[in-house]
Structure 1
């Protein structure tokens, strides 16, 4: 039985539930820090930071936590684990603050400034699984093998410098840029990556830290000489999507359709000739299976008839709460993330309030669909000027760009002559074998809303660029024409969008076998590929896809083989 409780400093932003669950999975109890006076009495503090640097430091100051934290950390002999933003706040300052405002000072424990990745040289945010280069031999990592990958999601980083090199526990490289991925000095430890989202590897990092607290073994860390040319590679991710809705009996199920039609095609004796909603399993059980099979991320896409009461959609919240207890990879939730009013009560909820409910239930990211198209239309009509009022902007401002995924659902509009299309739309030349029904060699990708039921006069490339300008951190790119067809991803669409934006793109719709994953990673600039039906029906195994990627020279995640 552990001799201490972990003091959790939850300042109120993002998905802290997963950190709680990960600590509990390691066998430790938690007590929340709600008063500044508790900081000095803590046996071990865990500070999970999500959101923006400026807002985090502002909240710490408003709560009176900042100076007690500095005092706690001063001697470096009090156990502390900062996660992601919790690491960045240890530095003196950051470039992540309000435009035009003065920089907000950090806790100042580690010398130096946190700066932004160069968007002209790499996709930003840095999202996904990457490796670590060891600078110290530390008991914190005693249960972790050097080659195991961990999960990152951040736009800002701390460079390795002469001033902070004594702190560096591990470093990581992204597109040639080396940055601090973990620090340790004495009992003060912090990670840029998310151990609570790094599967069994991450749980073993937490286990190493907590056992070092228990046994007092922090002082056993020893410096290692590293090869200056050593580097790590960001892997390509496989994302599994679960379309969740109620069936005809009111049960929440995972379903899958062809081009958004989720009902069985025929049923004897049915008045309509149609069967019920396809039931491919229970959401939490199926998601747990994919976690064990090696999914890099899991997306719950809510397609049930929830739109009249998004914030009261308790079944989906319960799915997230249950899933986050045993699934320690990133969880995305999509469906109805917008501002809305209840026509019965007249009460209004903002998009931020809706998103906050999902984050607190266990989501790491929210996916915005129709509302992103409307916001993009408004941005274009407004001459590219942001108002700060769209759901993308308000959620990104509080939780960070990395927490906002935009789901774009276009369909092809075939044309024979490029010049016949309105110049506001981006026309794409089609690959051989994918021409239109009348031999058309070009198309533009018309965005849809309301689950593909309504087409809008705006193209996918325009929406992607607008969403990036509004503050989105990632794009989930679907093609309705390819959905459920198992003929491969729409490569021209993937190339057009990934080439037009600097944020990561997730390819979706069309995967039918292992080669389709290899093809989309080889031939386009996407960073992740999503599939659903082929995994639900066990047509293809996740491991087989990763093996095919590795054989083709595409980096796939290396995970822990140890039990936690």
Structure 2
């Protein structure tokens, strides 16, 4: 299988009236509300109407309660919203006893392996979790919640895991041309009746991870499905009432909700022939990219710029208003978008932790939109009016807690790249390094706003250029792309 192309969604509007151009090379500029990988769209039946189809209270008894193990890293709001959407209440784990007393337990592991194990061990929850699973109690691990079941991981390590499943979690091999992390919608090869996977068949689910567990003779009794991305890796495991998946059901639209629903409302056990395996591959992508800012009335609106100008060419000169962010995000999700990206184009000028409207957009959107949410704008180190310093990690953490799955870094990433190219040293202090260390590099997106610069000859510069289809203003046949970064100025 050939390596899939890497897609970047690039906004055509900018909040700035002045920009600084940086000579970092990039791929071709694609400006569109929808970015289509390979210019195709492949539907995966992701439409989920907010009609409350599944939002029926499971019961008025304790059977409607789901115990959630949230150790405080990353976005578990989406899992919470999906559970509530399906009609269940949530009890958070506070003590090891809460794990042992759970009727059904969901562990939405997010972040990196070592910090997660540190929290589980320091709070005495690792031993309780092992006991719960070894006693065949109803359990669903998600993403890192699957990886922690294995003996150890190479991430931040080697680091010892819970040791319930034989095997070592290793990083994807990028030497075969496949980019790491594995991000996107991929199909499963279901090898065993898993019950919770009954409605998946050959439909796609959402993955985002840099590390994976590999099938072996020692763990084959656990494996219920695999997936292919360069190598064949474990996509889900099942033994009795214990389930775990590498993909994110809470971000996989309708098919993902069916996985959660089947775990929460299991049917009677039946013998069923497994779905026949099918060669899996990444699906084409449709990403809705929404530029968001406040208008003159203080309302948060979706807008779009015309050569960086987001104001209407009228006497009122108002900010161009294309709709409300939450409503538009919900509509794009229903129409089949498999990711929604918010770019707060005025985020650079305000203190992001004080931007309650933007945080509320994430919270409300994640209640009914069950695909990945990305947010960018102003994610960098800040100092507030009282002189208190906030790191980019603290800023990103609040976005994650509010419902974001990935954060997008723009100008700060360009500065970090320039510094690294100049010194060749990774300081560990950049926003890219700080955030990826805690949440994993799959949680950090670099977004660039490029400007095409035409050249008569590729020899005019030292870096890579492309041959253009349409010549430049003076007949130039080549071009390269400058990254633009915001500077301090007064925004109109």
Contact 1:138/1:221, CA 8 A, preserved across alignment: no
Contact 2:350/2:378, CA 8 A, preserved across alignment: no
The separation in 1 between residues aligned to 2:270 and 2:162, in whole angstroms, is 26
SS of match in other structure, 1:172: strand
Give the deviation of 1:211 after TM superposition: 0.8
What residue is the counterpart of 1:245 in the other structure?
Answer: 293
The separation in 2 between residues aligned to 1:5 and 1:359, in whole angstroms, is 24
After superposition, what is the alpha-carbon deviation per residue over 1:502-526, rounded to whole angstroms, capped at 9, x for unaligned? Answer: xxxxxxxxxxxxxxxxxxxxxxxxx
The separation in 2 between residues aligned to 1:451 and 1:287, in whole angstroms, is 29
In the alignment, is residue 324 of structure 1 matched against residue 372 of structure 2?
Answer: no
Give the deviation of 1:453 after TM superposition: 8.9
Most deviating of 89-98 and 397-406 = 89-98
What residue is the counterpart of 1:95 in the other structure?
Answer: 154
What residue is the counterpart of 2:418 in the other structure?
Answer: 377
Give the deviation of 1:310 after TM superposition: 1.4
In the alignment, is residue 13 of structure 1 matched against residue 49 of structure 2?
Answer: no
Runs of 5+ unmatched residues, structure 2: 1-57
Give 1:227-306 correspondences, 5 Å limit.
230-265=278-313, 267-268=314-315, 275-304=317-346
Give 1:61-140 correspondences, 5 Å limit.
61-75=121-135, 77-98=136-157, 103-121=158-176, 122-140=178-196
Give the deviation of 1:304 after TM superposition: 2.7
The separation in 1 between residues aligned to 2:139 and 2:401, in whole angstroms, is 23
Contact 1:136/1:221, CA 8 A, preserved across alignment: no
What residue is the counterpart of 1:538 in the other structure?
Answer: none
In the alignment, is residue 427 of structure 1 matched against residue 464 of structure 2?
Answer: yes
Number of residue equivalences: 429
After superposition, what is the alpha-carbon deviation per residue over 1:50-72, rounded to whole angstroms, capped at 9, x for unaligned? Answer: 11111211111112111111111
Contact 1:53/1:94, CA 8 A, preserved across alignment: yes
Change (3 A) 1:303 1:187: same
The separation in 1 between residues aligned to 2:115 and 2:146, in whole angstroms, is 15
Contact 2:183/2:208, CA 8 A, preserved across alignment: yes
What residue is the counterpart of 2:202 in the other structure?
Answer: 147
Q: Which runs of 4+ in 1 moved over 3 A?
A: 219-227, 451-454
Give the deviation of 1:368 after TM superposition: 0.2
SS of match in other structure, 1:244: strand
After superposition, what is the alpha-carbon deviation per residue over 1:361-404, rounded to whole angstroms, capped at 9, x for unaligned? Answer: 0000000001001111111121x210100000000000000100
What residue is the counterpart of 2:451 in the other structure?
Answer: 411
Contact 1:409/1:452, CA 8 A, preserved across alignment: no
Contact 1:92/1:107, CA 8 A, preserved across alignment: yes
The equivalent position to 2:480 in structure 1, one of 426, 433, 444, is 444
What residue is the counterpart of 1:335 in the other structure?
Answer: 377
The equivalent position to 2:218 in structure 1, one of 155, 158, 163, is 163
What residue is the counterpart of 2:246 in the other structure?
Answer: 192
Structure having greater relative contact order (Cα 8 Å, sep ≥ 6): 2
Contact 1:4/1:43, CA 8 A, preserved across alignment: no
The separation in 2 between residues aligned to 1:296 and 1:431, in whole angstroms, is 31
What residue is the counterpart of 1:495 in the other structure?
Answer: none
Give 1:196-235 correspondences, 5 Å limit.
196-212=250-266, 217=268, 219-220=269-270, 224=274, 230-235=278-283
Contact 2:64/2:87, CA 8 A, preserved across alignment: no
Contact 2:192/2:223, CA 8 A, preserved across alignment: yes
Instruction: Indicate the structure with greater helix content.
Output: 1
After superposition, what is the alpha-carbon deviation per residue over 1:459-483, rounded to whole angstroms, capped at 9, x for unaligned? Answer: xxxxxxxxxxxxxxxxxxxxxxxxx
- Taking structure 1 as the reference length, the TM-score comes to 0.73
Give the deviation of 1:224 after TM superposition: 4.1
RMSD between aligned alpha carbons?
Answer: 1.9
